[in-house]
């Protein structure tokens, strides 16, 4: 079977104003015109409108970086999936390690958000990954498997196969210390096996698994060539036009 369609997503985190987002996406459009990959920019909430307008007529899709699991109500400061969907958002990052670490995101809230995202027609990019202490203690496999299983509780197969899972070892995020291709492939393969156990061989063979953590223009394509790595979730390098265009090429 040929490999799955690669999905390259830039996670801008808390960077770029609406005007900067618009200018960036307009400049990115011609640079990625020839790519066959799926290209996504996960922008701050307030940049969504200008980003979607700027991306019109291109293959660039816009994602959000978080959402709330409730449909609506008294949740000051939160954004619902329906709000994002109506704006034209296609993907939503869920459970990024920065949200788990700084904003109290748990496996339980990740699971509720995954369910809520599917309910309103958004595709989740579910982030998992171990800390350095967990890796050093030999807990990577247990930890990542648990995160994957917890994220998919009560999610039916027909939805699960549309999810993207991003393996992001915390020790590789923003540190310039990329996992080796072998380390990244090993865990991405483990994630695929876990999906197979949870669902079926069919679901595990179509679900896309990204690697994230110091993906750069000079290491991206080797990582993406691995059997179980179907693209990347890119932080710092996604803010630089030429770098992100190079990473997205293919
Ligand atoms: P960096 O690419 O800056 O290491 O960030 C990775 C990340 O957290 C993407 O979600």
Please indicate whether residue 215, judged by its CB atom, sits closer than 6 Å to ligand 1: yes
Give the tens place of pLDDT for each residue, 110-163.
999 999 999 999 999 999 999 999 999 999 999 999 999 999 999 999 999 999
Q: Is residue 1, in this structure, part of any structural domain at all?
A: no
pTM of the model: 0.98
Q: Is residue 172, in this structure, part of any structural domain at all?
A: yes
What distance in angstroms lies between residue 174's CA and the mean position of ligand 1's atoms?
6
Q: What is the pLDDT of residue 176?
A: 84
Q: Is residue 2, in this structure, part of any structural domain at all?
A: no
**Residue 56: partners with Cβ closer than 8 Å, 6 or more residues away:** none
Q: Going by CA atoms, what residue is nearest to atom 5 of ligand 1? A: 235
Domain count, the chain: 1
Which of 168, 177, 240 has the most ligand 1 atoms within 8 A of CB, as the residue to mutate? 168
User: 178 falls in which pLDDT band (50, 70, 90)?
Assistant: confident
Please indicate whether residue 164, judged by its CB atom, sits closer than 6 Å to ligand 1: no
Mean pLDDT of the chain: 97
CATH of the domain at 110: 3.20.20.70
Q: What is the pLDDT of residue 1?
A: 47
Instruction: Inform me whether the pLDDT recorded for 3 exceeds 90.
Output: no
Q: Is residue 186, in this structure, part of any structural domain at all?
A: yes
DSSP class of 68: B
What distance in angstroms lies between residue 213's CA and the mean position of ligand 1's atoms?
5
Average pLDDT on 168-180 reads: 92
% of the chain beyond a pLDDT of 90? 96
What gap in Å lies between CA 58 and CA 108, rounded to an integer? 36
Judged by DSSP in three states, 9 sits in strand
Which structural domain, as residue segments, surrounds residue 153?
7-248
Please indicate whether residue 179, judged by its CB atom, sits closer than 6 Å to ligand 1: no
Average pLDDT on 246-250 reads: 96
3-state helix, strand, coil in the chain (%, to 5): 45, 15, 40
Q: Is residue 47, in this structure, part of any structural domain at all?
A: yes
Q: Residue 207: name the closest of 193, 225, 221, 219 by CA.
A: 193
User: 177 falls in which pLDDT band (50, 70, 90)?
Assistant: confident
What gap in Å lies between CA 180 and CA 16, rounded to an integer? 30
Instruction: Inform me whether the pLDDT recorded for 2 exceeds 70.
Output: no
Residue 126 phi, psi (nearest 5): -95, 120
Q: Is residue 40, in this structure, part of any structural domain at all?
A: yes
Q: Is residue 112, in this structure, part of any structural domain at all?
A: yes
Please indicate whether residue 11, judged by its CB atom, sits closer than 6 Å to ligand 1: yes
């Amino acid at each position: 079977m040929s490999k799955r369609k690669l999905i390259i997503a830039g996670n801008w985190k808390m960077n770029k104003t609406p005007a900067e987002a618009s200018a960036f996406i307009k400049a990115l459009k011609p640079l990625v015109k020839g790519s066959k990959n799926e290209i996504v920019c996960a922008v701050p909430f307030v940049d969504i409108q200008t980003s979607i307008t700027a991306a019109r007529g291109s293959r660039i899709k816009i994602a959000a970086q978080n959402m709330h699991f409730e449909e609506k109500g008294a949740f000051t400061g939160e954004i619902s999936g329906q709000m994002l969907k109506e704006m034209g958002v296609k993907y939503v990052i869920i459970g990024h390690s920065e949200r788990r670490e700084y904003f109290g995101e748990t496996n339980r809230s990740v699971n509720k958000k995954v369910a809520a995202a599917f309910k309103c027609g958004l595709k989740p990019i579910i982030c998992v990954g171990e800390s350095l202490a967990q890796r050093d203690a030999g807990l990577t496999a247990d930890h990542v498997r648990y995160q994957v299983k917890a994220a998919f509780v009560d999610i039916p197969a027909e939805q699960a196969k549309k999810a993207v899972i991003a393996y992001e070892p915390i020790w590789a995020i923003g540190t310039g210390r990329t996992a080796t291709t072998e380390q990244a492939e090993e865990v991405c393969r483990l994630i695929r096996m876990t999906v197979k156990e949870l669902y079926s061989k069919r679901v595990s063979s179509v679900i896309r698994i990204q690697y994230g953590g110091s993906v750069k223009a000079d290491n991206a394509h080797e990582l993406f060539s691995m059997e179980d790595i179907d693209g990347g979730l890119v932080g710092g390098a996604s803010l630089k036009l030429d770098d992100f265009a190079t990473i997205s090429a293919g």
